[in-house]
Structure 1
Amino acid sequence: MKSQDIRSKFLQFFKDKQHSIVPSAPMVLKDDPTLMFVNSGMAPFKEYFLGNAEPKNNRIADSQKCLRVSGKHNDLEEVGYDTYHHTLFEMLGNWSFGDYFKEEAIAWAWELLTDVFKIDQDILYVTVFEGDDEDGIPMDQEAYDFWKRLIPEERILMGNKKDNFWEMGDQGPCGPCSEIHVDIRSAEEKAKVSGKDLVNMDHPQVVEIWNLVFMQYNRKANGSLVSLPNKHIDTGMGFERLCMVLQGVQSNYDTDVFTPIIREIETITDKDYGKEDKIDVAIRVISDHVRAVAFSIADGQLPSNTGAGYVIRRILRRAIRYSFTFLDQKEPFIYRLVDVLSLKMGAAFPELKSQKQLIENVIKEEEASFLRTLDQGLVLLDGIVKNTSGDTVSGEKAFELYDTYGFPIDLTALILSEQGLKLDQAGFKTHLEKQKKRSRAASEMSTDDWTILIDDAVQEFIGYDALEAKVKITRYRKVTSKKDGNMYQLVFNLTPFYAEGGGQVGDKGYLEDVHGNIIYILDTKKENNVVMHFTKNLPENIDGTFTATVDAKQRYRTECNHTATHLLHQALREVLGPHVEQKGSAVHSKYLRFDFSHFSKLTVDELRDVEIFVNARIAGKLPLQEERNMPMDKAIEAGAMALFGEKYGDTVRVVRFGQSIELCGGTHVKNTGDIWFFKIVSEGAVAAGIRRIEAITNDALKDYFADVNNTYTEIKTLLNNNEPVKALQNLQEENSQLKKQVESLLKDKAKNLKGDLKSELTVVNGVQFLAKKIDLDAGGIKDLCFELGSQFDNLFLLFAAENDGKALLSCYVSKELVASKGLNAGQIVRELGKYIQGGGGGQPFFATAGGKNPDGIEEALEAAKKYLE
C-alpha cells in the first residue's frame, strides 16, 4: 500500500467516525513560548486541552508534521544510526475533547489496524500504565479491561511512568497511555526471543506505532496531580513506521516515503545504499534532514544563529558534514533533493511546491557557506595537530575550533582517529558544559500555578474598538527569570490590550484602581489563546475593579506602521511582481520591518517606485474596511492574502485598504491618511532569495525629516555655499586629484621601504621574522605585506602604524607556516590587540587589529617575537 493511500485511509476511517479532518498546522510555533516547534500531534490543540478555547468539533483527526530535535523530546543523534527515528515525522492522530474516552479510542485503534489495514493480530502487543506510588496514581485497570476484550492477556504488558504516562511538560494536562507495538521480525527470530521481551527495548523491528493518551490529570507547579474537569483523548501514530509495517519492509527508510530521495542521493553522489554502514548512515541522515529543513523553510523559519533558526541550521549542517565526510561531496548538492521531495509530498503539503524555489536557494547558500567553514577548519585543525605533542589533542583547542569556527566536534574526532590521534573528549565536554551552563543561567525561568480569582475561561478582546475598559482580574501567576526578575502575568475578563502577534508588538499601558493607584502594564503576550498582561507588581486590591488603559500614542504609531506594512506588501507585488510573498514582519511604534521573497537587490528606481506607490495610497485617504468573522474560504475567494506558516481558523479577520486585502488580526489606522508619510530607510538581504525593508512613518518620519533638514543646514554652513551639491562636486574632483597624487607618493614610499625592510629580516627558529612600526596607511601596509610574502617563504611579519591618534597592527603569516606551525594571524592580532587597548581579527594568514592606545605599540612588537621563540 502506497504511503499516500495509507494517510488517506486513516483520515477517511475517522471521518466516518464523525471526526473533522483538519490540515496540518505549521510546524514553526509563533504563539507558544514554551515550544519552538510542534513536537507532537497534540501541540496545535493545547488551548483545547487547557480549556482556553472551544473546538468547533469535539472530534478531530489529522496528519501533523512534527519536529523533534531539541529539549525533552530530542531524537537528533539517533537519526541515521537506527532505522526508525526521525527529525521530521508525520503524526497521524485522532482527538476527543471531552467526548469519547478510553473504550472508543482503544476499540477504534484496534479496528483500524486489524480490520482496515489488515495487520496480523498475532504480531501486536499493547502496554498499559502499571501505576506509580510516588504520584499515588493507580494502575490503569480500565484500559486493561478494555484491551482484554480484544487481545490475549499475555500480550498486554505493564508499562512504567517513563513509557506509559504522557506529559506535555513540567506543568499542564497529562495522563496514562496505552502504546501499541508491532513485531515484524522473522519467524525464526520470534522463536528464539518472545516479542514481549523486546517491547520498549529499542529493537529496530519491535517498535511502537501508536500511542493512545488518556488526558485525565493536570500537573501543578508543585508536582501534584489533580483531575481535569473534562477527559480527553490524544493519540499519535508514527506515519513512517506504519508505512514500514504495511509495506512489509524492515526499515522506515525502505518505504516509499524515503526511497525516492535515497535513489536521488545515489544518483548524484555515485554511492550505493545498502553496501557499507557508514555510507548508509550518511544517506539516511541526509534523506531525513532535507525533509526537516525544507518543511521548516516552507513554514517560514529560515536558518539563523539564534532560536529556532539555529536548530534548523544545526540540522542542515549535520547533513552537510555527513555528505562531506562519508559521501565525498565538496560542493553543494542537498538542495537538489528538494525537487524529488516536492514531487513526492507536494500533494499532501502544497507549501513544498509553492515554496520550492525559495527552499532550494536557502539550502544551497547554507551548503556553500558551511563547506567554506569546513575547508577553513581543516587548515586550522592541521595546524593544531602539528603543534600537538603526544597522541592526544587538547579538548580546549577542539572546543575553540567548534565554538569560534563552527567546526563539528565529531568531524574533529574522526580526522584525529584517522591520523592515529585521540581527542580529549572529557576536556571538550567540560568547556561545552560551561558554555551550556552560562546559556541556561541566562534563560532560566520558573512559573507558578495560576491563582484563579474568577472561574471565567472566556476572555474578550475589545481593543479594535476601545483603548480603555473596566476590567476584573480573573487569574494571575508569578514568573521568575534571571533576565527580568519577578514578573506577574495578569488575565482580565476582557481587555483592550493587543497581545503580540502577527509581527505586531504587544500593547503597553496601565491599570488604575478606584483609589487612583497605578500599576504599569509593560507588555502583552498571548499563550495558548490566553492574553497575558505583564507587570512588575500586583495590585493591592487584586479582586477589585480596574480601569485598563492602553498607551494610546504607542498604539497609534504602531497602527500607522502596521497599515503601512500592508501597503508596502501590495506595492512590492505591484512593482516587482506577484512572486513577492511576505516572509516575516516586525511592527513596532518606531519602525516597521518587512521580509519578502525576491531574487535580487532592489534598484534605486524600484525603491523610489515602491515609496511613491505607498505614499499615493496614504494621500488617497483609503478607509479601513474589515470583516471580523469571515469564513476562510470566502476570504480567499475575495482575494485576501494568506501566508504560509500562519495558522488560520475556520473564520478569519479580513483587513482591506483599497485593493490591499489581507488576513490579519492586528490593529490598524481608520484611514491611510493617518499615516502621514512613508519612508524606506534600508533594504538588504536576509538569506538567499529573501530581502528585508525597514521603513518609518508618522512621528518617526517627522523626526527623520527634522534631522535631515538640520544636517542640510550644517552642510551649507560648512561649505559656505547655498548650492551645496555643486560645491560637493567640486570638492570631489579636487579630492580625486589629490588622492591620485597621494597614492603615487605612497607607492614610491612603499617601494623604497620594501628595499630597506628586506635587510632587516631576521631568522627565528627557521622563520623569517620582522616586527616594526612604519609610516603607511592600512592599505599600504597590506600591499607591502603581500609583496614581501611573494618574495620570501616562511615569513612572519607584524607591522604597526599610528594614524589620527589610533594604533594599527597588521600581521602576515605565510600559508606554509599556518599549516606547519599552527600560527594564526587572526588569533595573534586578537591577543596583541590588548597592548593597544583594542581588538581585531581576520584570516589565518593575514589579520589586522585597531586600538586607542598608540603607546602600546612597542610592547606589541616585542611580544610578537615570543610566538616563534
Structure 2
Amino acid sequence: MKSQDIRKAYLQFFESKNHLIVPSAPIVLKDDPTLMFNNSGMAQFKEFFLGNGTPKSPRIADTQKCLRVSGKHNDLEDVGFDTYHHTMFEMLGNWSFGDYFKKEALAWAWEFLTEVLKLDKDRLYVSVFEGNPAENVPFDQEAFDIWKQYVSEDRIILGNKKDNFWEMGDQGPCGPCSEIHIDLRTDAERAAVSGRSLVNADHPQVVEIWNNVFMEFNRKADGSLEKLPAQHVDTGMGFERLCMAMQGVTSNYDTDVFTPLIQKVENITGLKYTSNEIKSISEEQNKINIAIRVIVDHVRAVAFAIADGQLPSNTGAGYVIRRILRRAIRYGFTFLNQKEAFIHQLVTVLADQMGEFFPEIRSQQHLVTNVIKEEEASFLRTLEQGLQLLDKVVAETAGKEVKGEKVFELYDTFGFPKDLTALILKEKGYSFNEAEFDSELAKQKARSRAASEVTTDDWKVFVEGNVESFVGYDQTENEVKITRIRKVDSKKDGVLYQIVLDATPFYPEGGGQVGDKGSLVSANEVIEIIDTKKENNLILHFTKKLPENVNAAFVAKVNNDLRTATSKNHSATHLMHLALRSVLGTHVEQKGSLVNPNYLRFDFSHFAKVTDAELRQVEDFVNARIAEQLALVEYRNLPIQEAMAKGAMALFGEKYGDTVRMIEFGESRELCGGIHVKNTADIWHFKIVSEGAVAAGIRRVEAITGSAVADFFAQQEAALTQIKETLKNPQDTLKAVVSLQDENAKLKKQIEQLLKDKAKNLKGELASQLQTVNGVRFLATQVDLDANGAKDLAYEMGQNQTDLFLVFATVTDDKPMLTCYISKELVDSKGFNAGQVVRELGKYIQGGGGGQPFFATAGGKHAAGIPEALEKAIAFVQ
C-alpha cells in the first residue's frame, strides 16, 4: 500500500467505529506555554484530559504533525544515524474521552493491523504494564487478559514504568500503556533469535508501531497519583514506521514517504543513496547515506513549521527551526559537496506528495521555498566566515591541539558545528580538546536550564467543575469568584500566583494581542493583575500576592486605558491587513503580529521592499476607513464554513474550531478573538513608523494610533522648530537644509583632495625611514591621516615595489586604526598575510579586523596601545 492509502485506511476504519475525524493541529503551538511544538498526537487534546473543556465528540481520530527536537522528547541528534528516528513525523491517533476503554481500544488496534492491513500476526508482540508497588499501581491484569484473546502468552511482554507507563509531563494526566511491536527481520534471523528478546532493545527492525495509553491517573506536584474522575484512551501510531511494515522494507527512508525526496537529492547532487537493505557499504557511502537521510527528514520539519507560521530566528521556537535547517545545510556542504543553496528545491516534491492531506504546504509553497533558500544562502556565508575564523584560531594555536573553548565559541556564537570544525582541523593536521568543548557545552546547558527552571504547584480548587467563562467582549468590570489558585516559582520571574475566575473580563494573551492588566478588588484589599494568559483552556490571571480571603466576593477590573489603546491598535491591524492586500496584492498574508497599548507590529508575506509611495497609500487607505466611521460588526459562534463564505480571512498556523468569531469593519473581515473598537472613528489616526525585512519574503511594519500619533506629531513639530532655530529661522527651511548639504559635500571633496596631497607629500618623507630587515623593506609608524588617507598612502608607496611591508596607525575621533600593506610578491614568496598581522596587532588597540593577504585593516578603541602595536610589528619580518 502507498502511504496515502495507509493514512486513508486508518481514518476510514475509525470513522466506521463512530470516531469524528479532525484535521491536524498546527505543528507550532501558540497557546501552551509548556511546549514549543506539538510533540505528540494528544497535545491538542490536553484540555479535555485535564477536564478544562468538552470535546466535539467523545470519540476522535486524526493524523497529527509532530516535532520532537526540544525538551524531554528530543530526537534531533539521532536523526540520520539510524533508520527510524525523525524530527517531524505523523502520529495516527484515536481518542476516547470518558467513552470506551481498554477492551475496545485493544480489539480495534488488533483488528486494524491484522484484518484491514493484514500484517502477519506472527511478527507482532504486545506489552502491558507490570505494575509499580511503590506507587500503588497494580499489574495491568485487564489488558493482559484482553490480549490473551488474540495472542499467545509468550507474545505478551511485561513492561516497566519507563516503557509502559505514559506521562504527559512531570504533572498531569497519565496511566499505563500497552504497546504493539513488529519484528521485520528475515525468517532466518527470526528463527535464530526470538523477537521477544529484542522488544524495546533499540533494534532497528524490531520496533514499536502503536501505543495505547489508558489515562487513569493524575500526577500531582509531590509525585503522588490520584484517580481521574473519568477514564480516557490516548493512542499513537507512528505513520512512517507503519509504512515501513506495510511496504516490506527495513527502513523508514525506504518507504514512499521519503523516496521521492531522496530521488530529488540524488538528481541535484549526482550522488546515490543506497538502501538499508544493502548490508556492506563503504565508510564514504555511509556518510553520504546519513547526510541524505538528515536532509530529507529535516526539510519536512522546517517546511511544515514555516507553513504553520514559525519563521527561523535567533530565539525560541524560531531558533530551533533555524538549527534544524542549518544541520541539514551543513551535512549537504560537508558530505554531498553542495556549496550553493539546494534544499529549497525539495519543497516542490513535498507539496506534491503531502499537499492533498496537508493543504497548507501547497498554499504556502512559494513562501516556504523562498524562506529556506534565503536561510541556506545566509548560513553558507556564515560557513565561509567560520572558515576564516578557524584559520585565525589555527594560526594562534601552539602545537597541534586547538582549545575546546575556541571550538565552542565558534559553535555558540557563529553556529559552526563541532563535527565540521573537527573535519576541517583534521584536514589541516590538527585536532581539538573535546573534553573542554563538552565542559563548555554542559555549562551552557546548565545556565539555560537554570534560567528556565519552573516549579509549579498543584491547583487548589475552590469551585469544582468546568465553570470558567470569558465575558470581556461585553464588560471590563465584573463580579467574580476565585475557582482555583496555584503558585509558580521560576528563576526568571520569581514567585507568582495564577488565579482562575468563574467569569472573567480579562482578555488572555492570544492572536498577537497582549493580555489585559488590572485588579481584583474586594471589600478589604486590592490585588494587582500584572498579566493574563491562557493555558489548556483556562484563563490565568498573574499576581504577585494571594488574596487574604480567597472565598471573598471580588470585582475584576480591567485597566480601561490600556485596553482602549490596545483595541485601537488591534482594529487598525485588521484595516492595515486589508490595505496591504489592496495596495500590494492578494498574495499578502499575515505571518505574525503584536498588538499592545503602545504600538502595533505586523509581519506579512511580500517579496520586495514596500516603497515610501506604497506606505503612504496604505496609510491613506486606513485613515480613509477611519474617516468613514465604520461600525464594528461582530459575529460570535458563527459556523466556520459560513464565515469563510462571507469572505473572512483565516490565518495559517491558527487552530480554529467548528464555530468562530468574525470581526467586520466594512470590507475587512477576519476571524479573530481579540478586543476591538466599536467604531473605526475611535482609532482617530493611523501612522506607519517603520518598515523592513524580517526574513526572506517576510516584511514587518510598525505603526501607531490614537494618542501615540498625537505625541508623534508633537515630537516632529518640536524637532522642526529646533532645526529652524539652528538654521537662524530661514523663510524656506527645506531650501536651507539642501543648501547646507551641498556646501558640506563640496567641503568634503576639498578635504579629501587635501588629504591626498598630504599623503603624496608624506611619501617622500617616509621613504627615507624604510629599514631593511631580512631582505624586506619595512616601516611601522603613525601618520596624521584618516583611514582612507592611510590606504592611499600605502598603495602610493607600494607602486612598482616588490619587497615592501608597511604598517600605518591612524586615529580619527579617538578611534585607532591599523593598516597593513604587503607587496604581493612577498605574500607569494614568504607567505606573509596582512589579515593575520592586523588581527594580532589589533589586540593592542583592543580591536580586530581582517582583509586580504596583501592589504588589511583593524579598528579598535584603545589609542594608547598604538606605540606597542607598532613596536611589535617588526617581529613579523624578523
Q: Provide Cα deviations, 1:805-845, integer angstroms capped at 9, x if missing partner.
A: x33334558796999889657865874455xxxx6767697
Q: Which runs of 5+ in 2 are unaligned?
A: 275-280
The alpha-carbon deviation at position 766 of structure 1 amounts to: 9.8
TM-score, normalised with respect to structure 1: 0.95
Which residue in the other structure is 1:155 paired with?
155
Deviates more, 1:811-820 or 1:319-328: 811-820
Counterparts in 2 of 1:785 and 1:666: CA distance versus 1, 3 Å: farther
Q: Which amino acid aligns with 1:93?
A: G
The alpha-carbon deviation at position 132 of structure 1 amounts to: 2.0
The alpha-carbon deviation at position 149 of structure 1 amounts to: 1.0
Q: Using the alignment, how far apart are the partners of 2:740 and 2:113 within structure 1?
A: 83
Q: Using the alignment, how far apart are the partners of 2:874 and 2:682 within structure 1?
A: 66
Q: Which amino acid aligns with 1:531?
A: I
The alpha-carbon deviation at position 867 of structure 1 amounts to: 9.0
Which residue in the other structure is 1:662 paired with?
670
Q: Which amino acid aligns with 2:390?
A: L
Which residue in the other structure is 1:477 paired with?
486
Counterparts in 2 of 1:783 and 1:197: CA distance versus 1, 3 Å: farther
The alpha-carbon deviation at position 459 of structure 1 amounts to: 1.2
The alpha-carbon deviation at position 755 of structure 1 amounts to: 5.3
Size of the aligned set, in residue pairs, is 861
Alignment check: 8 A CA contact 1:829 1:847 kept: no
Q: Using the alignment, how far apart are the partners of 1:485 and 1:759 within structure 2?
A: 69
The alpha-carbon deviation at position 855 of structure 1 amounts to: 5.3
Q: What SS does the aligned partner of 1:440 have? A: helix
Counterparts of 1:227-266 in structure 2, within 5 Å, are: 227-266=227-266
Counterparts in 2 of 1:640 and 1:865: CA distance versus 1, 3 Å: farther
Q: Using the alignment, how far apart are the partners of 2:415 and 2:805 within structure 1?
A: 28
Counterparts in 2 of 1:761 and 1:74: CA distance versus 1, 3 Å: farther
TM-score, normalised with respect to structure 2: 0.94
Q: Using the alignment, how far apart are the partners of 2:14 and 2:523 within structure 1?
A: 54
Counterparts of 1:128-527 in structure 2, within 5 Å, are: 128-274=128-274, 276-515=285-524, 517-527=525-535
Q: Using the alignment, how far apart are the partners of 2:108 and 2:308 within structure 1?
A: 32
Q: Using the alignment, how far apart are the partners of 1:136 and 1:813 within structure 2?
A: 79
Q: Which amino acid aligns with 1:774?
A: V
Q: Using the alignment, how far apart are the partners of 1:77 and 1:358 within structure 2?
A: 28
Q: Using the alignment, how far apart are the partners of 1:794 and 1:422 within structure 2?
A: 36
Which residue in the other structure is 1:647 paired with?
655
Residue number among 544, 557, 560 corresponding to 2:552 in the alignment: 544
Which residue in the other structure is 2:679 paired with?
671
Q: What SS does the aligned partner of 1:351 have? A: helix
Matched, 1:583 2:608: no
Sequence identity (%): 64
CA RMSD of aligned residues (A): 2.5
Which residue in the other structure is 1:45 paired with?
45
Q: What SS does the aligned partner of 1:622 have? A: coil
The alpha-carbon deviation at position 772 of structure 1 amounts to: 4.2
Residue number among 606, 629, 632 corresponding to 1:624 in the alignment: 632
Q: What SS does the aligned partner of 2:134 have? A: coil
Q: Using the alignment, how far apart are the partners of 1:802 and 1:316 within structure 2?
A: 43
The alpha-carbon deviation at position 785 of structure 1 amounts to: 6.3
Deviates more, 1:416-425 or 1:296-305: 416-425
The alpha-carbon deviation at position 379 of structure 1 amounts to: 3.0
Deviates more, 1:546-555 or 1:368-377: 368-377
The alpha-carbon deviation at position 170 of structure 1 amounts to: 0.8
Q: Using the alignment, how far apart are the partners of 1:750 and 1:362 within structure 2?
A: 48
Alignment check: 8 A CA contact 1:27 1:296 kept: yes
Q: Which amino acid aligns with 1:800?
A: T
The alpha-carbon deviation at position 73 of structure 1 amounts to: 0.7
Matched, 1:67 2:77: no
Alignment check: 8 A CA contact 2:835 2:850 kept: no
Q: Using the alignment, how far apart are the partners of 2:412 and 2:747 within structure 1?
A: 46
Q: Provide Cα deviations, 1:741-776, integer angstroms capped at 9, x if missing partner.
A: 112112222344455556656788999876544333
Matched, 1:607 2:615: yes
Residue number among 682, 688, 696 corresponding to 1:688 in the alignment: 696
Q: What SS does the aligned partner of 2:481 have? A: strand
Matched, 1:735 2:729: no
Q: Using the alignment, how far apart are the partners of 1:243 and 1:317 within structure 2?
A: 28
Q: Using the alignment, how far apart are the partners of 1:585 and 1:825 within structure 2?
A: 48
Deviates more, 1:756-765 or 1:578-587: 756-765
Counterparts in 2 of 1:214 and 1:671: CA distance versus 1, 3 Å: same
The alpha-carbon deviation at position 137 of structure 1 amounts to: 1.7
Deviates more, 1:453-462 or 1:207-216: 453-462
Q: What SS does the aligned partner of 1:733 have? A: helix
Q: Using the alignment, how far apart are the partners of 1:666 and 1:410 within structure 2?
A: 47
Counterparts in 2 of 1:323 and 1:855: CA distance versus 1, 3 Å: closer
Q: Using the alignment, how far apart are the partners of 1:628 and 1:176 within structure 2?
A: 41
Q: Which amino acid aligns with 1:165?
A: F
Q: Which amino acid aligns with 1:136?
A: N
Which residue in the other structure is 2:29 paired with?
29
Q: Which amino acid aligns with 1:479?
A: V
Q: Using the alignment, how far apart are the partners of 1:573 and 1:793 within structure 2?
A: 63
Residue number among 563, 568, 581 corresponding to 1:573 in the alignment: 581
Counterparts in 2 of 1:386 and 1:807: CA distance versus 1, 3 Å: closer
Alignment check: 8 A CA contact 1:266 1:272 kept: yes
Q: Using the alignment, how far apart are the partners of 2:453 and 2:857 within structure 1?
A: 38
Q: Using the alignment, how far apart are the partners of 2:194 and 2:582 within structure 1?
A: 67
Which residue in the other structure is 1:595 paired with?
603
Residue number among 809, 816, 821 corresponding to 1:799 in the alignment: 809
Q: Provide Cα deviations, 1:304-346, integer angstroms capped at 9, x if missing partner.
A: 1111011111111111111111111111111111111111111
Alignment check: 8 A CA contact 2:639 2:658 kept: yes
Alignment check: 8 A CA contact 2:842 2:869 kept: no
Q: Using the alignment, how far apart are the partners of 1:66 and 1:384 within structure 2?
A: 40
Matched, 1:638 2:636: no
The alpha-carbon deviation at position 673 of structure 1 amounts to: 0.5
Alignment check: 8 A CA contact 2:568 2:705 kept: yes
The alpha-carbon deviation at position 292 of structure 1 amounts to: 0.6
The alpha-carbon deviation at position 414 of structure 1 amounts to: 2.3
Alignment check: 8 A CA contact 1:261 1:340 kept: yes
Which residue in the other structure is 1:776 paired with?
785
Q: Using the alignment, how far apart are the partners of 2:316 and 2:797 within structure 1?
A: 46
Alignment check: 8 A CA contact 2:508 2:515 kept: yes
The alpha-carbon deviation at position 457 of structure 1 amounts to: 2.2
Q: What SS does the aligned partner of 1:134 have? A: helix
Counterparts in 2 of 1:3 and 1:828: CA distance versus 1, 3 Å: same
Q: Provide Cα deviations, 1:548-602, integer angstroms capped at 9, x if missing partner.
A: 1111111111000000000000000000000000000000111100000001001
Counterparts in 2 of 1:862 and 1:655: CA distance versus 1, 3 Å: farther
Q: What SS does the aligned partner of 1:93 have? A: strand
Q: Provide Cα deviations, 1:75-104, integer angstroms capped at 9, x if missing partner.
A: 111111111111000000001111111111
Alignment check: 8 A CA contact 1:392 1:422 kept: yes
Counterparts in 2 of 1:618 and 1:781: CA distance versus 1, 3 Å: farther
Alignment check: 8 A CA contact 1:510 1:521 kept: yes
Q: Which amino acid aligns with 2:652?
A: F
Q: Which runs of 5+ in 1 are unaligned?
A: none
Alignment check: 8 A CA contact 1:512 1:546 kept: yes
Q: Using the alignment, how far apart are the partners of 1:171 and 1:788 within structure 2?
A: 74
Alignment check: 8 A CA contact 2:790 2:819 kept: no
Q: Which amino acid aligns with 1:401?
A: L
Alignment check: 8 A CA contact 1:129 1:160 kept: yes
The alpha-carbon deviation at position 781 of structure 1 amounts to: 4.4
